Amino acid sequence: MVDLTRPLSVGVLVTLELSPKAGGHVKCWERFAEAAVALPDTLDLTVYFLGKQESTTVLADTVRFRQLPAVLGTDRFSFLDQGAGNTDLAGYHKGLAHHLVHHDVLHGTDTFSFSRTARTVARTRGKALVHSIHTDLPKFTRVYSREIIGRFVGHGAFGHFVLDRLGVPDMLGRNAEGKIKRLLRGADRILVSKREDRELVRDLVPPEHLTDLRRGIDKTFFNPAKRDRRKLYETLGVPEDKPVLLFVGRADDSKNVMTMAKAARILLDRGTPLHVLCLGEGARMADIRTLLGDNGTLPGNRPQEDLSWMYASADLFVFPSESEVTPNVVREARASGLPVFLSAKDGGAQFVSQNGGDGMLLDSQDPTLWADALDPFLTDASRRKAMGAAARTIVEAAYPSWFDVLQDDLMPAWTGAALDKGLVPARQDISPHG
């Protein structure tokens, strides 16, 4: 039995690259780490990411990012390139294991090398093991395997046979679901963010060890007061006299970005004034440019500090993705006072309290349906402002900060798992109940 006369040591495993271009999974752990700086007496946190070489970035004496090179990185295989970032296909990372033995709690966030290594170290060294689900791996597997396999088999008769008749992408998606269950079996705590994931893993741990993991939002940073259409024009050339449809994320089929682009094209052909601002990179960028021409601005990824005023300077947020667990971009748009148009089948739908009141949920990927839903808001500024204001009111009243989530969701899971392994917190303030 260990007497914790020091902060609880937690190692979080994110088998993705730490980069300004990284997606929401990486960014949420950056935010949690920033919040952890305020808990020096109770938490010592290391978040592990992939990197070209081993390095450490210190945020505070008790908080750091550590980057380690992949053992078998996907960037070695050009045919695996799909725009979603590189990961590590190895089953075990010896260099990482050397670091993990020094932590009390290991927290996996994916099904790749780092999380597999954490599972092995937890089993062999008696460490507490926590896991959280951040992405819809089966759905991403289906989308990207279809894209990758399609490069080899084409999209003619043979491609149709492999992709559709044999259903190879669907088979791989089902295998991914099984992979999640196998990896998470034996975890001391599991955290989920949507109902479907709770159902997927509910038999793997006792009910009291399956808890929710929310996401935070910085309500000061993402704020309608940051709106500056003049700056948007001067910086990116976005016209000031047209409503702006905003998309933020990977511009590829995993986000159904072409549903947004085609809906915008339909509206433009009807004579509805609008301009599309697409922040992000992806395989569909050229298609969007071709479809929208001068009516679209696609500046790629932007620095974090630009996002607040760019969100607030848009007029509508359009995000047809059906692959998200709990998308940061939806909360950021709502905090910025934008009406959001989302797929009803996506994890982001959970943030809309009243369909048609504080956001719009659509059941189809038919671009005409999306165009019809957007049209009244493009032509009536008061209508879109009312929906955006309703969203912002809910954000102010109900959305937690990143520190709130760290303190109320993560710390109880980590401390509870440590107690399960015989670790005794020295102070009441790091007990699982507060």
Q: Give tens-digit pLDDT for 52-61.
A: 999 999 999 9
d(CA 350, CA 325): 10
Per the DSSP assignment, residues forming a β-bridge with 359 are: 355
Question: So what's the pLDDT on residue 399?
Answer: 95
Per-residue pLDDT band at 26 (split at 50, 70, 90): very high
* CA separation for the pair 107, 133 (Å, rounded): 11
pLDDT tops 70 at residue 158: yes
Greatest Cα pair distance in the chain: 72
306 or 145, which is more confident? 306
Pairing of strands 210-212, 189-192: parallel
pLDDT in tens, 98-139: 999 999 999 999 999 999 999 999 999 999 999 999 877 667
pLDDT of res. 33: 98
Q: Which one is predicted more confidently, 158 or 148?
A: 158
Cβ burial, residue 5 (10 Å; 0-12/13-18/19+): exposed
Q: What is the CA radius of gyration of the chain?
A: 22
Homologous superfamily assigned to 2-216+400-430: Glycogen Phosphorylase B; (3.40.50.2000)
* pLDDT (0 to 100) of residue 144: 65
Question: How far is Cα 60 from Cα 165, in angstroms, rounded to an integer?
Answer: 54
Position 165 pLDDT exceeds 90? no
For the cut 70, the answer to whether the pLDDT of residue 431 exceeds it is no
149 falls in which pLDDT band (50, 70, 90)? confident
Q: Is the pLDDT of residue 2 over 70?
A: no
Q: Where are the domains of the chain?
A: 2-216+400-430, 224-398
pLDDT per residue over 294-347, tens digit each?
Answer: 999 999 999 989 999 999 999 999 999 998 888 999 999 999 999 999 999 988
Q: If pLDDT is split at 50, 70 and 90, which confidence band does 1 have?
A: very low
C-alpha to C-alpha distance for 399 and 401, rounded to whole angstroms:
7
| 396 burial via Cβ count (<10 Å: 0-12, 13-18, 19+) | exposed
**Each residue of 37-81: pLDDT tens digit?**
999 999 999 999 999 999 999 999 999 999 999 999 988 766 566
pLDDT digits (tens, 9 = 90+) for 263-272: 999 999 999 9
For residue 428, how far is the Cα from the chain centroid?
33
pLDDT at 140 over 70: no
**How crowded is residue 49: how many other Cβ atoms within 10 Å of its Cβ?**
23
pLDDT digit string, tens, across residues 188-240: 999 998 888 898 898 999 999 999 999 999 999 999 999 999 999 999 999 99
The angle formed by the CA atoms of residues 301, 305 and 310, to the nearest 5 degrees, is 70
The CATH code that applies to domain 224-398 is 3.40.50.2000
In 3-state terms the chain splits into helix, strand, coil percentages (rounded to 5) of 50, 20, 35
CB atoms within 10 A of CB 341: 24
Model confidence at 370: pLDDT above 90: yes
- 4 pLDDT higher than 70: no
Per DSSP, the residues of 276-291 read: EEEES--TTHHHHHHH
Confidence band of 5 (pLDDT split at 50, 70, 90): low
> Do the two domains 2-216+400-430 and 224-398 of this chain adopt the same fold?
yes
pLDDT higher than threshold 90 for residue 169: no
Say how far apart CA 371 and CA 355 lie, in whole Å.
17
373-399 residue pLDDT tens: 999 999 999 999 999 999 999 999 999
Between the alpha carbon of residue 50 and those of residues 14, 17, 55, 81, 340, the distances in Å are 8, 4, 10, 16, 33
